[in-house]
Amino acid sequence: MKRINTAKGPVAASELGNTLMHEHLTIAYPGTATDTLRQGPAFRDMVAICVDRIQELQDGGYSSLVDPCPNDLGRSVELVGEVAARTGFNLIFSTGLYNEAVGGNAYWQVKLATDKNAVQKLADVFTTEIADGVPGSGGLKPGIIKVGTGRGAITNYEKAVLQAAAIASRATGTPITTHTDNELGPEQVRYLTEHGVAADQIVVGHCCGNPDHHYHMEVTGEGAYAGFDQWGIPMQASPGKPDGIRIESLMKLRAAGRLDRVMISHDNVWCMQGEPYDPAFWDDFAAAQTPLHFIRNVAPQLKERGMTDDEMDLLTRQNPLRYFSKE
């Protein structure tokens, strides 16, 4: 069976077991270093926090986690490597770039404007990290590619990043996961598939933040996976009952026979670097971010609605296995 790059080294896809598909050990928005008064937890503190969270997941029956933090959003390969070594957990980290609005795009914007080979050179970064390891990391290799889009339309910069990701995905057999602002998922899938990526190698992030069933059907109808990956997080449509809306959306996909195209996670951020959010807002936000929220609080509600154990296994184990094991 195909072997998957993790922060502890390659593992067989069959070893992944129950997998959370979108969680963050840490993130740092570009510019965090400029706020010299508020830099966030020290590295050793982050290690301790993350080890505790991983132990919670292990006690809850999980054995793998995807941390899709891209290169420009505070990715810490050192952190995922040390946490994986201490816990034995399968931590699949990413290579890639975030969307134009919030990511660290200045360097590649300049390169795209001045270097006709910029897209290929960006693809080379992704491909080399996957094949040879992130420089300076002791050979730790990403197992997934992360890209993102913002609102309204996919920008020219974002198209260049998606194109580079498609080149790297085809060259290495590495799947792609995306960030969305709860829109443009179908457009992402179409653009990536037009550039040679198989739809079943794409997870469209944050689909569950959009309550539109047609949107979910369009993403999954293309053959891609819909990320129901923000359980517990408030959503713009109805902040008071976000999981209730997500449950309704998931049950509609179940009725449509599309549970085999759904990925589950929380989009937790265990260690936020700096202080980009008002502390009162972040404290309320972080209080809901527990790594076992789905299985402890959501799964019982799904089972009350008729979800079977086999269907739960599809969501938490079989779908990630199928996604990662494709040759």
Cα→Cα distances 189→58, 163, 194, 211, Å: 33, 12, 8, 19
Whether the predicted model's global pTM rises above the 0.95 cut = yes
Number of structural domains the chain divides into: 1
Residues contacting residue 5 through CB under 8 Å, at least 6 positions apart: 92, 130, 141, 142, 143, 174
Mean pLDDT by 10 residues, the chain (327 residues): 94 97 98 94 97 97 98 98 98 98 97 98 98 98 98 98 98 98 97 98 97 97 96 71 92 98 97 93 79 95 98 98 94
CATH number at residue 250: 3.20.20.140
Q: Which domain holds residue 212?
A: 3-325
How confident is the model at residue 241, as a pLDDT?
A: 79
What is the predicted pLDDT for the residue at 281? 83
Q: Write down the pLDDT at residue 236.
A: 57
Q: Which helix (H) or strand (E) holds 112?
A: helix 106-114
Whether the Cβ atoms of residue 148 and residue 70 lie closer than 8 Å to each other: yes
Instruction: Supply the pLDDT for residue 239.
Output: 57
Phi, psi at 147, each rounded to 5° = -135, 170
